[in-house]
Amino acid sequence: MRRSNGRIVGALILARAIIEAIAFACLLALANAFSGGTGPVSLTVATAALTGVSCLLIAGLRDLPDQRRGTAVVMGTLVATALIAVLLPTRSLDAVGWLARLILFVVLGETYLWRVTSIARGAMRWTDARNAAPFAAVAIGLAAVVPL
């Protein structure tokens, strides 16, 4: 049995990270619009940022034997997505609106972490890779069709 080439595996992991970044940038734009955001989210900037974060997380999550480090990654994701929810410009929201916005962004962030963790831990499982394209297609389709 032939060993897989490291460059090919790296290219596949990078392609999957870019697909996930595009999908979650579209979902971030939708979440911002539905939860009281005043301005649009730049998909180019969001995709570039999520691709960079994905690459860092994939590199870091591949060798996480310690439970405390995993907890730190989850808590960091929670705090980062809550900060994004607070820092993006919004219209005047009441307490329930802010709570809904925070919950929406945190759920989106944890889903993103779950998808990136599946890339990091399994490298390229066929079921995950097979499900990435329809997931991204639905996210892009929603962002294109839903009037914002």
With 70 as the cut, is the pLDDT of residue 97 above it? Answer: yes
Where in the chain are the domains? 6-145
Angle subtended at Cα 10 by Cα 81 and Cα 41, rounded to the nearest 5 degrees: 30
Q: What is the pLDDT of residues 35-87, one digit of tens each?
A: 988 888 899 999 999 999 999 888 887 776 666 777 888 899 999 999 999 99
Q: If you average pLDDT over each of 15-19, 47-51, 141-145, which comes out highest? A: 47-51
Q: How confident is the model at residue 123 (pLDDT cuts 50, 70, 90)?
A: low
Q: Judge residue 41's burial from the number of C-beta atoms within 10 Å of its C-beta, 0-12 exposed, 13-18 middle, 19 or more buried.
A: buried
> How many percent of the chain have pLDDT more than 70?
89
Among 10-24, 68-82, 127-141, the range scoring the smallest mean pLDDT is: 127-141
pLDDT at 4: 61
pLDDT at 106: 95
Among 8-17, 26-35, 66-75, 85-94, the range scoring the smallest mean pLDDT is: 66-75
Q: Tokens 């914002």 label which residue?
A: 148
Beta carbons of 91 and 34 less than 8 angstroms apart? no
Q: How many other CB atoms are found less than 10 A from the CB of residue 31?
A: 22
pLDDT at 48: 95
